[in-house]
Amino acid sequence: LRLLLLSRDDRCSKGLIDPHGLIGLGLMDHVSVARFFALPAQAPAPLGTGLSGAESAFIPNTGEGYGLWCGVQRFDPPALLRRDPKAAIGFLIGHGEVQPNPSNRVCLDHGRCDAWGLPVAHIAMAWGMAEQTLVNLMLSRMQTVVQAAGGEIKPIEDLFRLALIEPWLTASAAGSQAVPPPGYYIHELGGAPMGDNPERSVLDRWNRFHTCSNLLVTDGSCWPRSGWQSPTLTSMALTRRACLAAISRQ
């Protein structure tokens, strides 16, 4: 987005035309919240039973706009560090969809420049009521999931003896009970969305800049909506799709 803004016609001769000033507007991330839990005494997980390379799984709640990333017994600290050595420790992390809001944006900070004298990017973003409502929904579902397994959600300091690092960990976004700020999960999306209407989008359906058809934008900024799923594989697929379409037009 910074490159597009620096290349716009208000900064350079014959630059990119952005007639509706849409570049940078509607920045999104995924709103997330995490909880740890303990299950009653469990036998150690047998080797080779991981559900994926990361030995974790997803519980989709697509109709409600979020999914729960979960894992049990993925980490096994020494018994001395566990308050209940027999308990199976797990985590749930909710990923929630964020709607594009023009107030969440990237613009150029003309009061600050980089080493080459170019304005740096300024990011303005905050969670709204919709995101807080979704967080409450995710927390409620986490309670349901853990209770169904006979477990109990607990703060991390009630599960482990953390000694000297406890104050630091509980104050961090990962160990806190609070909702991490935008950008924490580095799933930044939006700001140059795809669409058929040039008055409401920056790119067409093939990732071409509406007013400069030989410019393709295929990173996370092209997303019109965030979804709740992790964006990497979709971004790779969009890039391949856009490049194959460009080749076919030659």
Q: What is the pTM of this model?
A: 0.85
- d(Cα 6, Cα 24) in Å, to the nearest integer? 11
Residue-level pLDDT at 55: 73
> Which one, of 248, 191, 223, 241, lies nearest residue 18 by Cα?
191
Residue-level pLDDT at 105: 97
Q: Is the pLDDT of residue 202 over 90?
A: yes
- d(Cα 39, Cα 152) in Å, to the nearest integer? 7
Sign of CA dihedral 13, 15, 17, 21: negative
Question: What would the mean pLDDT of 53-75 be, rounded to a whole number?
Answer: 84
Counting beta carbons within 10 angstroms of the beta carbon of residue 49, is it exposed (0 to 12), middle (13 to 18) or buried (19 or more)?
exposed
SS3 223: coil
- List, for residues 215-233, the tens digit of each pLDDT value: 999 999 999 999 999 999 9
Give me the amino acid identity at 204. D
- List, for residues 65-117, the tens digit of each pLDDT value: 999 999 888 766 777 777 888 888 889 999 999 999 999 999 999 999 999 99
Percent of the residues in the chain that have a pLDDT greater than 90, as a whole number:
68
Q: Is the pLDDT of residue 177 over 80?
A: no
**What are the strands of the beta sheet with 31-39, ordered from one edge?**
57-61, 66-72, 88-96, 31-39, 152-154
Percent of the residues in the chain that have a pLDDT greater than 70, as a whole number:
89
Sign of CA dihedral 176, 178, 182, 187: positive
Could you tell me which residues are beta bridge partners of residue 108?
121
Residue-level pLDDT at 81: 79
What are the φ/ψ torsions at residue 233 (nearest 5 degrees)? Answer: -65, -35
- Token pair of 225 as six digits: 């909506």
Residue-level pLDDT at 162: 73
9 pLDDT band (50/70/90 cuts)?
Answer: very high
